[in-house]
């Protein structure tokens, strides 16, 4: 008899482990295994036959789970083949971008059962992401100074207990908690693309773009004790990021971890991050998200009227939410550093100036009186576009809530979330409409 190559391949799970000697050390340790990772094109040829053969000869399934991934196609979506000459040598890609960038692209671009188009543009993005991690790591290591590992953990625990640190420290630790939870759950479900996107958003947006920048308010100050706490949070969060990333990016994370010096052993044997309930601070998240939105809105308004960030301008912030008003007043130093106000007023009693650029946020209205720089017609046109945006959002959520099947079948917390969004969009719509009416009277 002549058997094809798939026959011998089907014996692989146990024949390579010392079988038929079922007392062999490798056989007892590695058979059956936990997970098989393979492409959908050989389910019949290989996967099913391994199961048949293992059950026949060992009475055991060869693996518990099978992760079926897609194929890597070229940029035009064609299957790579010798006849088309469109194959890409991974070693060439690694030579140019590094192994970690390729691993990141493959894991972050994957979705169960879906093919992945190879893209040099996405490889550039992966390399840029690693470069971002490297640069923020250099900044943190530079600021670490003589901070010991023991001091780092002690200071971070103090932040969790609210006996040290500031609201931005508590915010980033809460966001870290959320990321650990999201990544762990998606890794467990083999949703590597979702896990990667959660890591990317946290590292690039929350940590690099915001927290690292916000720490400069403390690190450029005079309070040495507060500096040590902020340094500790920076070091701790970076260490947790490296551990989360290590399964996908083993090389760069190991290199950075050695330079960071927080652990003695390799990352590959370090404890994987776990959610720490004491880190969760919902109030800090609410407050910092408002702070971020205000900073972004002021920067956007400045850009629209070509006002340089270095030019101080009056900033008025109106809110009738007492919690937000108190938070903004207590943390006005961040607004001062990152919006450069000539004067800063935060109150529920602010009356909108006649000639002012306006931004409408949840529970917050922002006015920049820029007489001489603002064109009333242009501002009305801009706010009219905003009004259309809020109307669109309001229509979408209203349609969902008017669907009796949705309201009856969705979880109560989901319905409540949609109702809160509806109320928020309605407030933004009404406030924007009222501001347009005021400007039209001028």
Q: What are phi and psi of 374, to 5 degrees?
A: -100, 135
Residues 6 or more apart whose Cβ sits within 8 Å of residue 121: none
Q: Work out the pLDDT band at 318, boundaries 50, 70, 90.
A: very high
In which residue are the tokens 């050989």 written?
A: 42
Contact between residue 125 and residue 96 where contact means Cβ atoms under 8 Å apart: no
pLDDT at 1 over 70: no
Question: CATH topology of 5-108 equal to that of 281-373?
Answer: no
Q: Work out the pLDDT band at 23, boundaries 50, 70, 90.
A: very high
pLDDT at 299 over 90: yes
5-108 classified as CATH 2.30.36.70: no
CATH for 281-373? Answer: 3.30.2320
In which residue are the tokens 């920049």 written?
A: 368
How many residues in total does the chain contain?
442
SS3 (DSSP) at 316: strand
pLDDT at 128 over 80: yes
The domain at 375-442 falls in which architecture? Answer: Orthogonal Bundle (1.10)
pLDDT at 10 over 90: yes
What is the gyration radius of the CA atoms in the chain, in angstroms? 28
Count the helices and strands in the chain (H runs, E runs).
Answer: 20, 8
SS3 (DSSP) at 253: helix
Residues 204-253 have pLDDT tens digits of: 999 999 999 999 999 888 888 899 999 999 999 999 999 999 999 999 99
Residues 52-63 have pLDDT tens digits of: 999 999 999 999
Domain residues of the chain, as ranges? 5-108, 119-280, 281-373, 375-442
What pLDDT score does 138 carry? Answer: 94
Q: Superfamily assignment of 119-280 in CATH?
A: Isoleucyl-tRNA Synthetase; Domain 1 (1.10.730.10)
> What span, in angstroms and rounded, lies between the C-alpha atoms of 249 and 242?
9
Residues 355-378 have pLDDT tens digits of: 888 889 989 999 998 777 777 888
């Amino acid at each position: 008899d002549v058997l094809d190559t798939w026959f011998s391949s089907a014996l692989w799970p146990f024949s390579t482990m010392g079988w038929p000697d079922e007392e062999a050390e490798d056989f007892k340790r590695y058979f059956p295994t936990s997970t098989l990772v393979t492409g959908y094109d050989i389910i019949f040829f290989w996967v099913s036959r391994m199961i048949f053969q293992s059950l026949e000869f060992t009475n055991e399934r060869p693996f518990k789970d099978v992760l079926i991934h897609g194929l890597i196609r070229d940029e035009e979506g064609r299957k790579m083949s010798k006849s088309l000459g469109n194959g890409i040598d991974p070693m060439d890609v690694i030579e140019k971008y590094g192994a970690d960038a390729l691993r990141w692209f493959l894991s972050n671009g994957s979705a169960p059962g879906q093919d992945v188009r190879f893209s040099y543009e996405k490889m550039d993005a992966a390399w840029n992401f690693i470069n971002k991690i490297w640069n923020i790591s250099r900044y943190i290591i530079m600021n670490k100074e003589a901070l010991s590992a023991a001091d780092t953990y002690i200071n971070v625990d103090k932040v969790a207990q609210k006996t040290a640190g500031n609201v931005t420290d508590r915010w980033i630790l809460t966001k870290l908690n959320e990321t650990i939870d999201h990544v762990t759950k998606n890794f467990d479900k083999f949703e590597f693309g979702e896990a990667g996107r959660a890591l990317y958003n946290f590292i690039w947006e929350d940590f690099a773009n915001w927290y690292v920048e916000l720490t400069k308010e403390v690190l450029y100050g005079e309070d040495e004790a507060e500096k040590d706490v902020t340094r500790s949070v920076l070091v701790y969060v970076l260490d947790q990021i490296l551990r989360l990333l290590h399964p996908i990016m083993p090389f760069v994370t190991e290199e950075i971890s050695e330079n960071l010096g927080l652990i003695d052993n390799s990352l590959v044997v370090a404890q994987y991050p776990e959610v720490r309930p004491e880190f969760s601070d919902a109030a800090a998240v609410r407050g910092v998200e408002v702070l971020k939105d205000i900073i972004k809105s002021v920067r956007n308004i400045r850009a629209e009227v070509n006002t340089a960030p270095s030019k101080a301008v009056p900033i008025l912030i109106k809110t009738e939410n007492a919690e937000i008003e108190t938070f903004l007043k207590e943390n006005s130093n961040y607004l001062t550093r990152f919006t450069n106000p000539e004067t800063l007023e935060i109150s529920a009693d602010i009356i909108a100036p006649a000639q002012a650029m306006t931004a409408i946020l949840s529970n917050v209205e922002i006015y920049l009186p820029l007489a001489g720089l603002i064109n009333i017609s242009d501002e009305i046109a801009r706010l009219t576009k905003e009004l259309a945006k809020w109307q669109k959002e309001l229509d979408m959520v209203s349609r969902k809530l008017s669907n009796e099947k949705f309201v009856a079948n969705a979880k109560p917390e989901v319905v409540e979330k949609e109702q809160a969004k509806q109320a928020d969009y309605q407030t933004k719509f009404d406030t924007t409409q009222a501001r347009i009416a005021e400007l039209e009277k001028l």
